[in-house]
Protein backbone atom coordinates (compact mmCIF):
# COMPACT_ATOMS: atom_id res chain seq x y z
CA UNK A 1 0.00 0.00 0.00
CA UNK A 2 1.21 3.50 -0.79
CA UNK A 3 2.49 5.37 2.22
CA UNK A 4 3.79 8.36 0.26
CA UNK A 5 0.32 9.86 0.04
CA UNK A 6 -0.61 9.39 3.70
CA UNK A 7 -0.41 12.17 6.31
CA UNK A 8 2.59 12.66 8.57
CA UNK A 9 3.40 14.94 11.48
CA UNK A 10 6.21 17.43 10.83
CA UNK A 11 6.78 19.37 14.02
CA UNK A 12 3.79 21.60 14.70
CA UNK A 13 2.03 20.57 11.47
CA UNK A 14 0.19 17.64 9.93
CA UNK A 15 1.34 17.29 6.33
CA UNK A 16 -1.20 15.63 4.01
CA UNK A 17 1.51 13.52 2.33
CA UNK A 18 5.12 12.39 2.79
CA UNK A 19 6.47 14.20 -0.25
CA UNK A 20 8.67 17.10 0.77
CA UNK A 21 9.97 19.55 -1.83
CA UNK A 22 13.76 19.85 -1.41
CA UNK A 23 15.44 23.21 -0.92
CA UNK A 24 16.62 24.32 -4.36
CA UNK A 25 18.52 27.46 -5.28
CA UNK A 26 17.06 28.86 -8.50
CA UNK A 27 18.96 32.18 -8.77
CA UNK A 28 16.00 34.30 -9.83
CA UNK A 29 16.14 37.08 -7.22
CA UNK A 30 17.15 40.62 -8.15
CA UNK A 31 20.53 42.18 -7.37
CA UNK A 32 19.27 43.20 -3.91
CA UNK A 33 18.29 39.64 -2.98
CA UNK A 34 14.56 40.31 -3.38
CA UNK A 35 12.44 37.47 -4.82
CA UNK A 36 10.16 38.40 -7.72
CA UNK A 37 6.51 37.72 -8.46
CA UNK A 38 7.66 34.73 -10.53
CA UNK A 39 8.92 33.21 -7.30
CA UNK A 40 5.44 33.62 -5.83
CA UNK A 41 4.04 31.64 -8.77
CA UNK A 42 6.79 29.00 -8.60
CA UNK A 43 6.13 28.09 -4.96
CA UNK A 44 2.33 28.42 -5.23
CA UNK A 45 2.40 25.93 -8.12
CA UNK A 46 4.05 23.39 -5.80
CA UNK A 47 1.78 23.90 -2.74
CA UNK A 48 0.48 20.30 -2.87
CA UNK A 49 3.79 19.12 -1.36
CA UNK A 50 3.44 17.83 2.20
CA UNK A 51 6.01 20.51 2.98
CA UNK A 52 7.97 22.93 0.80
CA UNK A 53 11.49 23.78 1.93
CA UNK A 54 12.51 27.01 0.22
CA UNK A 55 15.72 27.59 -1.68
CA UNK A 56 18.70 28.60 0.47
CA UNK A 57 18.24 32.18 1.75
CA UNK A 58 21.12 34.23 3.17
CA UNK A 59 20.57 35.52 6.72
CA UNK A 60 22.89 38.49 6.20
CA UNK A 61 24.70 39.98 3.20
CA UNK A 62 27.98 38.24 4.17
CA UNK A 63 26.22 34.87 3.85
CA UNK A 64 25.60 35.24 0.13
CA UNK A 65 27.45 32.77 -2.09
CA UNK A 66 25.76 32.85 -5.49
CA UNK A 67 24.59 35.54 -7.86
CA UNK A 68 20.83 36.29 -7.82
CA UNK A 69 20.10 34.40 -4.59
CA UNK A 70 17.55 35.86 -2.15
CA UNK A 71 18.02 37.13 1.41
CA UNK A 72 15.95 37.68 4.54
CA UNK A 73 17.63 40.77 5.90
CA UNK A 74 15.89 43.84 4.47
CA UNK A 75 12.26 44.97 4.67
CA UNK A 76 11.97 44.62 0.88
CA UNK A 77 13.04 40.98 1.13
CA UNK A 78 10.57 40.30 3.97
CA UNK A 79 7.73 41.93 2.01
CA UNK A 80 8.50 39.86 -1.09
CA UNK A 81 8.63 36.60 0.88
CA UNK A 82 5.31 37.49 2.51
CA UNK A 83 3.71 37.29 -0.93
CA UNK A 84 5.23 33.82 -1.40
CA UNK A 85 3.97 32.43 1.93
CA UNK A 86 0.50 33.94 1.43
CA UNK A 87 0.20 32.32 -1.99
CA UNK A 88 1.33 28.92 -0.68
CA UNK A 89 -1.08 29.14 2.27
CA UNK A 90 -3.95 30.22 0.00
CA UNK A 91 -3.42 26.93 -1.83
CA UNK A 92 -3.40 24.93 1.42
CA UNK A 93 0.37 24.40 1.59
CA UNK A 94 3.10 24.71 4.20
CA UNK A 95 6.55 26.27 3.62
CA UNK A 96 9.74 26.42 5.70
CA UNK A 97 12.58 28.78 4.83
CA UNK A 98 16.03 27.25 4.43
CA UNK A 99 18.54 29.61 6.03
CA UNK A 100 21.86 29.30 4.19
CA UNK A 101 25.12 31.07 5.05
CA UNK A 102 27.70 30.12 2.44
CA UNK A 103 30.80 31.13 4.43
CA UNK A 104 33.91 30.47 2.31
CA UNK A 105 31.85 29.28 -0.70
CA UNK A 106 31.66 32.84 -2.02
CA UNK A 107 33.67 35.64 -3.58
CA UNK A 108 34.30 39.37 -2.82
CA UNK A 109 32.30 40.33 -5.93
CA UNK A 110 29.20 38.89 -4.20
CA UNK A 111 30.04 40.57 -0.87
CA UNK A 112 30.51 44.24 -1.79
CA UNK A 113 34.25 43.67 -2.01
CA UNK A 114 34.57 42.00 1.42
CA UNK A 115 36.56 38.79 1.91
CA UNK A 116 34.41 35.68 2.55
CA UNK A 117 34.48 34.39 6.15
CA UNK A 118 35.08 30.86 7.46
CA UNK A 119 36.23 28.97 10.59
CA UNK A 120 39.75 28.85 9.11
CA UNK A 121 41.51 30.62 6.24
CA UNK A 122 41.39 27.63 3.90
CA UNK A 123 40.34 28.18 0.28
CA UNK A 124 37.96 25.63 -1.21
CA UNK A 125 38.67 24.17 -4.65
CA UNK A 126 36.41 25.32 -7.41
CA UNK A 127 34.69 28.44 -8.63
CA UNK A 128 32.04 30.88 -7.44
CA UNK A 129 29.09 31.99 -9.58
CA UNK A 130 29.42 35.76 -9.59
CA UNK A 131 27.87 38.69 -11.48
CA UNK A 132 30.81 38.45 -13.94
CA UNK A 133 30.64 34.69 -14.45
CA UNK A 134 32.57 31.88 -12.77
CA UNK A 135 35.76 32.82 -10.90
CA UNK A 136 38.04 30.89 -8.54
CA UNK A 137 37.05 30.95 -4.89
CA UNK A 138 39.00 33.42 -2.75
CA UNK A 139 40.91 32.52 0.40
CA UNK A 140 38.50 33.28 3.27
CA UNK A 141 39.25 35.21 6.43
CA UNK A 142 39.18 33.37 9.78
CA UNK A 143 36.29 34.52 11.98
CA UNK A 144 37.01 35.85 15.47
CA UNK A 145 34.99 34.47 18.40
CA UNK A 146 33.18 37.80 18.61
CA UNK A 147 32.26 37.63 14.94
CA UNK A 148 30.95 34.07 15.38
CA UNK A 149 28.61 35.36 18.08
CA UNK A 150 27.50 38.04 15.61
CA UNK A 151 26.66 35.43 12.96
CA UNK A 152 24.60 33.47 15.48
CA UNK A 153 22.64 36.70 16.02
CA UNK A 154 22.23 37.03 12.23
CA UNK A 155 20.54 33.61 12.18
CA UNK A 156 18.33 34.66 15.11
CA UNK A 157 17.21 37.81 13.30
CA UNK A 158 16.74 35.89 10.04
CA UNK A 159 14.45 33.42 11.82
CA UNK A 160 12.45 36.26 13.35
CA UNK A 161 12.02 37.83 9.92
CA UNK A 162 11.14 34.50 8.28
CA UNK A 163 8.33 34.02 10.81
CA UNK A 164 7.28 37.65 10.30
CA UNK A 165 7.14 36.92 6.55
CA UNK A 166 4.71 34.09 7.26
CA UNK A 167 6.97 31.04 6.96
CA UNK A 168 5.70 28.01 8.89
CA UNK A 169 9.21 27.28 10.10
CA UNK A 170 12.91 27.38 9.25
CA UNK A 171 15.56 24.86 8.24
CA UNK A 172 19.23 25.27 9.12
CA UNK A 173 21.31 24.39 6.07
CA UNK A 174 24.16 22.44 7.66
CA UNK A 175 24.90 20.42 4.50
CA UNK A 176 26.71 20.79 1.15
CA UNK A 177 29.89 22.40 2.49
CA UNK A 178 28.46 25.77 3.56
CA UNK A 179 29.35 27.65 6.77
CA UNK A 180 27.79 25.30 9.36
CA UNK A 181 29.41 22.26 7.71
CA UNK A 182 32.68 24.20 7.46
CA UNK A 183 32.61 24.33 11.27
CA UNK A 184 31.58 20.66 11.61
CA UNK A 185 34.33 19.27 9.35
CA UNK A 186 37.95 18.80 10.35
CA UNK A 187 39.25 19.64 6.85
CA UNK A 188 37.84 23.19 6.88
CA UNK A 189 37.97 23.82 10.64
CA UNK A 190 41.49 23.94 12.02
CA UNK A 191 40.75 26.31 14.88
CA UNK A 192 42.51 25.91 18.20
CA UNK A 193 39.79 27.52 20.28
CA UNK A 194 36.36 26.44 21.62
CA UNK A 195 35.00 26.10 18.04
CA UNK A 196 37.68 23.77 16.65
CA UNK A 197 39.56 20.56 17.39
CA UNK A 198 37.55 17.75 19.00
CA UNK A 199 34.03 17.08 17.77
CA UNK A 200 32.53 18.52 20.95
CA UNK A 201 33.98 21.87 19.82
CA UNK A 202 33.26 21.53 16.09
CA UNK A 203 29.50 21.12 16.75
CA UNK A 204 29.40 24.24 18.95
CA UNK A 205 28.57 26.64 16.11
CA UNK A 206 25.72 24.50 14.73
CA UNK A 207 24.20 23.97 18.17
CA UNK A 208 24.49 27.69 18.97
CA UNK A 209 22.78 28.65 15.72
CA UNK A 210 20.02 26.07 16.22
CA UNK A 211 19.45 27.32 19.76
CA UNK A 212 19.05 30.87 18.40
CA UNK A 213 16.62 29.71 15.72
CA UNK A 214 14.61 27.72 18.27
CA UNK A 215 14.42 30.75 20.56
CA UNK A 216 12.58 32.64 17.79
CA UNK A 217 10.47 29.97 16.10
CA UNK A 218 10.03 27.26 18.76
CA UNK A 219 11.69 23.85 18.36
CA UNK A 220 8.68 22.36 16.57
CA UNK A 221 9.19 24.86 13.74
CA UNK A 222 12.94 24.27 13.27
CA UNK A 223 14.56 21.55 11.15
CA UNK A 224 18.17 20.86 10.17
CA UNK A 225 19.66 19.45 6.97
CA UNK A 226 22.91 17.49 6.94
CA UNK A 227 24.73 15.59 4.16
CA UNK A 228 27.43 13.36 5.66
CA UNK A 229 30.28 12.44 3.28
CA UNK A 230 28.81 14.42 0.40
CA UNK A 231 32.21 16.15 -0.01
CA UNK A 232 30.66 19.01 -1.98
CA UNK A 233 32.50 22.36 -2.13
CA UNK A 234 35.67 20.47 -1.17
CA UNK A 235 34.48 19.77 2.35
CA UNK A 236 36.27 16.86 4.06
CA UNK A 237 36.08 15.36 7.51
CA UNK A 238 38.51 12.84 9.01
CA UNK A 239 35.75 10.99 10.95
CA UNK A 240 32.27 11.82 9.62
CA UNK A 241 30.65 8.89 11.41
CA UNK A 242 31.79 10.30 14.76
CA UNK A 243 30.90 13.89 13.79
CA UNK A 244 27.32 13.16 12.79
CA UNK A 245 26.48 10.65 15.54
CA UNK A 246 27.77 13.16 18.08
CA UNK A 247 25.76 16.00 16.52
CA UNK A 248 22.52 14.01 16.38
CA UNK A 249 23.03 12.65 19.91
CA UNK A 250 23.35 16.22 21.15
CA UNK A 251 19.92 17.04 19.64
CA UNK A 252 18.18 14.54 21.92
CA UNK A 253 15.35 16.15 23.85
CA UNK A 254 15.26 19.33 21.74
CA UNK A 255 11.94 18.43 20.08
CA UNK A 256 13.01 19.71 16.66
CA UNK A 257 10.50 19.55 13.80
CA UNK A 258 12.73 17.22 11.78
CA UNK A 259 16.15 15.92 10.85
CA UNK A 260 16.74 16.04 7.07
CA UNK A 261 19.53 13.77 5.86
CA UNK A 262 20.62 13.86 2.21
CA UNK A 263 22.94 11.06 1.19
CA UNK A 264 24.58 10.83 -2.22
CA UNK A 265 26.46 7.95 -3.85
CA UNK A 266 27.57 5.12 -1.62
CA UNK A 267 29.23 6.36 1.54
CA UNK A 268 31.29 4.01 3.72
CA UNK A 269 28.57 4.06 6.36
CA UNK A 270 24.78 3.60 6.15
CA UNK A 271 24.01 6.98 7.70
CA UNK A 272 20.26 6.45 7.80
CA UNK A 273 20.68 3.20 9.77
CA UNK A 274 23.10 5.02 12.05
CA UNK A 275 21.22 8.28 12.61
CA UNK A 276 17.52 7.50 12.44
CA UNK A 277 17.42 5.48 15.70
CA UNK A 278 19.28 8.30 17.46
CA UNK A 279 16.70 10.95 16.51
CA UNK A 280 13.30 10.87 18.17
CA UNK A 281 11.51 13.28 15.78
CA UNK A 282 10.43 13.17 12.14
CA UNK A 283 13.21 11.84 9.91
CA UNK A 284 13.45 13.01 6.29
CA UNK A 285 15.50 11.19 3.64
CA UNK A 286 16.53 12.88 0.40
CA UNK A 287 18.88 12.37 -2.55
CA UNK A 288 18.13 10.57 -5.80
CA UNK A 289 14.74 9.13 -4.83
CA UNK A 290 12.09 7.84 -7.23
CA UNK A 291 8.47 7.05 -6.42
CA UNK A 292 9.36 3.36 -6.03
CA UNK A 293 12.47 3.86 -3.93
CA UNK A 294 10.63 6.37 -1.73
CA UNK A 295 7.82 3.89 -1.13
CA UNK A 296 10.48 1.30 -0.30
CA UNK A 297 12.19 3.59 2.19
CA UNK A 298 8.87 4.28 3.92
CA UNK A 299 7.77 0.62 3.88
CA UNK A 300 11.05 -0.40 5.52
CA UNK A 301 10.57 2.26 8.18
CA UNK A 302 13.82 4.03 7.25
CA UNK A 303 12.17 7.47 7.22
CA UNK A 304 8.94 9.27 8.02
CA UNK A 305 8.93 11.38 4.87
CA UNK A 306 10.91 11.63 1.62
CA UNK A 307 12.45 14.66 -0.06
CA UNK A 308 12.36 15.23 -3.83
CA UNK A 309 14.48 17.86 -5.59
CA UNK A 310 14.67 17.90 -9.37
CA UNK A 311 11.45 15.85 -9.75
CA UNK A 312 9.52 18.56 -7.87
CA UNK A 313 11.28 21.28 -9.80
CA UNK A 314 10.00 19.79 -13.08
CA UNK A 315 6.62 18.53 -11.81
CA UNK A 316 4.63 21.13 -9.87
CA UNK A 317 1.88 18.53 -9.29
CA UNK A 318 4.23 15.70 -8.23
CA UNK A 319 1.90 14.18 -5.55
CA UNK A 320 -0.95 14.00 -8.08
CA UNK A 321 1.31 12.40 -10.69
CA UNK A 322 2.43 9.79 -8.16
CA UNK A 323 -1.20 9.11 -7.20
CA UNK A 324 -2.08 8.45 -10.84
CA UNK A 325 1.18 6.78 -11.81
CA UNK A 326 1.46 9.45 -14.52
CA UNK A 327 4.54 10.17 -16.61
CA UNK A 328 6.91 12.80 -15.21
CA UNK A 329 8.27 15.90 -16.96
CA UNK A 330 12.06 15.77 -17.39
CA UNK A 331 14.07 18.45 -15.53
CA UNK A 332 15.91 20.84 -17.85
CA UNK A 333 19.32 21.38 -16.25
CA UNK A 334 20.16 24.33 -18.50
CA UNK A 335 17.46 26.39 -16.72
CA UNK A 336 18.18 25.33 -13.10
CA UNK A 337 20.01 28.60 -12.43
CA UNK A 338 18.99 31.13 -15.05
CA UNK A 339 18.25 34.67 -13.94
CA UNK A 340 15.73 36.07 -14.55
CA UNK A 341 14.07 33.62 -16.92
CA UNK A 342 10.58 32.18 -16.53
CA UNK A 343 11.63 29.30 -18.77
CA UNK A 344 12.26 26.17 -16.73
CA UNK A 345 10.92 27.97 -13.65
CA UNK A 346 7.17 28.51 -13.84
CA UNK A 347 6.34 26.90 -17.18
CA UNK A 348 6.54 23.17 -16.40
CA UNK A 349 3.07 21.83 -17.26
CA UNK A 350 0.70 20.21 -14.78
CA UNK A 351 -1.43 17.26 -15.89
CA UNK A 352 -4.43 18.17 -18.03
CA UNK A 353 -7.66 18.28 -15.98
CA UNK A 354 -9.10 15.28 -17.84
CA UNK A 355 -6.30 13.05 -16.55
CA UNK A 356 -6.83 14.18 -12.98
CA UNK A 357 -10.32 12.74 -12.60
Residues in contact with ligand FMN by CB under 6 A are: 22-25, 55-56, 98, 100, 173, 175-176, 225, 262, 286-289, 308-311, 336
Q: Which is nearer to ligand FMN, 19 or 40 (CB)?
A: 19
Q: Which is nearer to ligand FMN, 58 or 196 (CB)?
A: 58
To ligand FMN, the closest distance from the beta carbon of 354 in angstroms equals: 28
Beta strands 13-15 and 8-10 are antiparallel
Q: How far apart are CA 352 and CA 343, in angstroms?
A: 20
To ligand FMN, the closest distance from the beta carbon of 224 in angstroms equals: 11
Beta strands 19-21 and 51-57 are parallel
To ligand FMN, the closest distance from the beta carbon of 243 in angstroms equals: 18
| Helix, strand, coil percent values for the chain (each to nearest 5) | 35, 15, 45
Q: Which is nearer to ligand FMN, 196 or 209 (CB)?
A: 209
CB atoms within 10 A of CB 352: 7
To ligand FMN, the closest distance from the beta carbon of 289 in angstroms equals: 6
To ligand FMN, the closest distance from the beta carbon of 262 in angstroms equals: 4
Residues 6+ apart with CB under 8 A from 235: 124, 176, 177, 181, 182, 185, 187, 188
Q: How far apart are CA 58 and CA 318, in angstroms?
A: 28
User: Which residue in the list 66, 155, 178, 258 is annotated as catalytic?
Assistant: 178
- Using alpha carbons, select from 337, 343, 275 the residue that is nearest to residue 67: 337
To ligand FMN, the closest distance from the beta carbon of 110 in angstroms equals: 15
Residues 6+ apart with CB under 8 A from 195: 119, 145, 148, 183, 189, 201, 202, 204, 205
What is the number of the residue whose Cβ is closest to ligand FMN?
309
- Answer positive or negative: Cα dihedral of 109, 100, 126, 119: positive
Residue 178 falls in the annotated catalytic set: yes
C-alpha dihedral over 80, 48, 312, 216, to 10 degrees?
A: 50
Q: Which is nearer to ligand FMN, 158 or 191 (CB)?
A: 158
Q: Which is nearer to ligand FMN, 196 or 309 (CB)?
A: 309
Q: Which is nearer to ligand FMN, 197 or 331 (CB)?
A: 331
Q: Show the DSSP H helices in 53-187 as ranges.
A: 75-90, 145-164, 179-184
Q: Which residues form the catalytic set?
A: 178
Amino acid sequence: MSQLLTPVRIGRYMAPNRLVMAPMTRSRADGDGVPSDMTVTYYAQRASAGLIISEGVFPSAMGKGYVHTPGIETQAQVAAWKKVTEAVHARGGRIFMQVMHCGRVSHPSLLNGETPVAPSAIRPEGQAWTPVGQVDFATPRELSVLEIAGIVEDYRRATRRAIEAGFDGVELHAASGYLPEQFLSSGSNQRQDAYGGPVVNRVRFVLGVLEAMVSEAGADRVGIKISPEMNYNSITDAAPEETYTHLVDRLKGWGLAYLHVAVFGTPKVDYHALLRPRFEGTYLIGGGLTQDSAEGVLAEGKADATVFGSAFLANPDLPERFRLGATLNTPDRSTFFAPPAAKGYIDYPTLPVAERA
